[in-house]
Amino acid sequence: MKTHRAVAIVLLAFLAGGSSAEMAVQTRHALHRNHADPAEGSGGNLLALELRDPDGQLIARPRVLATPGRAAHLVLRDPRNPEQVRLTLRLEATRDPSGDVSVDWELTMPGEERPWSGRLLATPGVELALDLGDRVGERPMVFATLLALPVPSAAFNAYLDAERRARHT
Output the tens digit of pLDDT for each of the chain's 169 residues. 566 665 555 554 555 555 555 556 666 666 665 555 678 878 899 999 998 888 889 988 989 999 888 999 999 998 899 999 988 999 999 998 898 999 999 988 887 777 888 899 999 999 999 877 655 556 667 788 999 999 999 999 999 999 999 988 7
DSSP 140: P
Give the Cα separation of 64 and 66 in Å (integer): 6
Q: Annotate 8-38 with b (16+ C-beta within 10 A) or e (fewer).
A: eebbebbbeeebebebbebbbebbeeeeeee
**Which pLDDT score, from 0 to 100, does residue 7 have?**
56
**Which pLDDT score, from 0 to 100, does residue 86 have?**
87
**Which pLDDT score, from 0 to 100, does residue 47 have?**
94
Identify which of 153, 155, 93 has the alpha carbon closest to the alpha carbon of residue 120: 93
Neighbours of 154 (CB within 10 A): 11
Interaxial angle between packed helices 21-34 and 2-15, expressed in degrees from 0 to 180 and rounded to the nearest 10: 170
Q: Indicate the pTM of the whole model.
A: 0.71
User: What pairs with residue 119 in β-bridges?
Assistant: 104
**Which pLDDT score, from 0 to 100, does residue 87 have?**
87
Q: Which amino acid is at 64?
A: V
**Which pLDDT score, from 0 to 100, does residue 92 have?**
94
**Which pLDDT score, from 0 to 100, does residue 112 have?**
76
